[in-house]
């Protein structure tokens, strides 16, 4: 099954890449920080599995990631810019009945878009716990430090694997640093807006973004699903794609 590359305009006219696979019910899939649609969804077979289940997988490269624009002007990075880009994608495609799936940063972006008024039919939040939505400051400091020390971080440093992944993905560090400043917290009281059926899917060794059980309990209509792996390795496991599929078609 082939992947098609399309383009759309995000906030401020940024040229953003959209990877498409399959035909059927629209499913927007948002990747994690420093990753891409190819790395998060295509390489490990998740998109193919979902396309074979009857979904059209719509997988943007987020701003400052993958093949999308990575501008260096701070004006291109207002608060919630990724949610603004997601709204632009939904408008570009003319979607009014679709499902939404995110992993890590993609989950944060999905929640921010819903708080701002987006209403997918079903929602998947992968690699996310309650603290990852409400307590971004600690994670932001970690990743900003990793970017700033990118050339000097050695094996054994807590930032080592983040830095190695960032380098392997050829991330534009100037753009990524600007992007990190745009993420708004979502306090538990605001999660009532996330009223659609939701699956919180997290690796059994993944607590990078806090407690997925607490996030599930804070949402009006959510189930918690466990897949194997850490925050980094759960994406590589077929169980992730199967859990997404089974929830969306259930």
- Name the average pLDDT for the chain: 96
CATH number at residue 130: 3.40.50.1820
> pLDDT (tens digit, 9 = 90+) per residue, 16-30?
999 999 999 999 999
Taking 80 as the threshold, does the pLDDT of residue 138 lie above it?
no
Contact (CB, 8 A) for 225 and 247: yes
Residue 250 confidence (pLDDT): 85
Q: Which helix (H) or strand (E) holds 241?
A: helix 238-249
- Residue 36 CA to residue 31 CA, distance in Å, equals 6
pLDDT, mean of residues 195-205: 98
- State the pLDDT confidence band at 140, using cuts at 50, 70 and 90: confident
Name the nearest CA neighbour of 76 among 2, 35, 16, 163: 16
Classified as helix, coil or strand, 248 is helix
Residue 139 confidence (pLDDT): 82
Strand-pairing partners, residue 18, are 6, 60
Q: What's the total number of domains in the chain?
A: 1
Taking 80 as the threshold, does the pLDDT of residue 93 lie above it?
yes
Distance of CA 44 to the CA centre of its chain: 16
Residue 136 confidence (pLDDT): 78
- The pair of structure tokens assigned to 80 is 């919630």
Residue 73 confidence (pLDDT): 97
Per the structure, the complete domain to which residue 76 belongs is given by 4-249
Q: What angle do CA 188, 196, 233 make, to 5 degrees?
A: 75
Question: What predicted TM-score, i.e. pTM, was given to this entire model?
Answer: 0.96
pLDDT, mean of residues 88-111: 97
> pLDDT (tens digit, 9 = 90+) per residue, 162-195?
999 999 999 999 999 999 999 989 989 999 999 9
């Amino acid at each position: 099954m082939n992947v098609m590359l399309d383009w759309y305009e995000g906030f401020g006219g940024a040229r953003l890449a959209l990877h498409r696979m399959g035909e059927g019910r629209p499913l927007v899939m948002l990747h994690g920080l420093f990753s891409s649609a190819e790395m998060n969804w295509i390489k490990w077979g998740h998109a193919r599995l979902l396309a074979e289940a009857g979904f059209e997988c719509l997988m943007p490269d987020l701003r400052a990631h993958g093949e999308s624009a990575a501008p260096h002007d701070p004006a291109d990075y207002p608060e919630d810019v990724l949610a603004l880009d997601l709204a632009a994608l939904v408008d570009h495609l003319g979607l009014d009945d679709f499902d939404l799936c995110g992993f890590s940063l993609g989950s944060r972006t999905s929640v921010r878009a819903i708080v701002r008024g987006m209403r997918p039919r079903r929602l998947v939040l992968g690699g996310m716990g309650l603290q990852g939505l409400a307590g971004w400051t600690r994670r932001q400091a970690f990743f900003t430090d990793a970017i700033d020390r990118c050339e000097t971080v050695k094996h054994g440093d807590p930032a080592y694997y983040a830095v190695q992944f960032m380098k392997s993905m050829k991330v534009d560090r100037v753009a990524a640093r600007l992007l990190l400043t745009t993420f708004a917290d979502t306090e538990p009281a605001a999660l009532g807006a996330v009223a659609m059926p939701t699956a919180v899917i997290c690796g059994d060794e993944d607590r990078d973004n806090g407690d997925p059980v607490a996030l599930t309990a804070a949402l009006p209509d959510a189930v918690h699903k466990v897949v194997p792996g850490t925050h980094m390795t759960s994406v590589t496991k077929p169980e992730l794609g199967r859990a997404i599929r089974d929830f969306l078609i259930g």
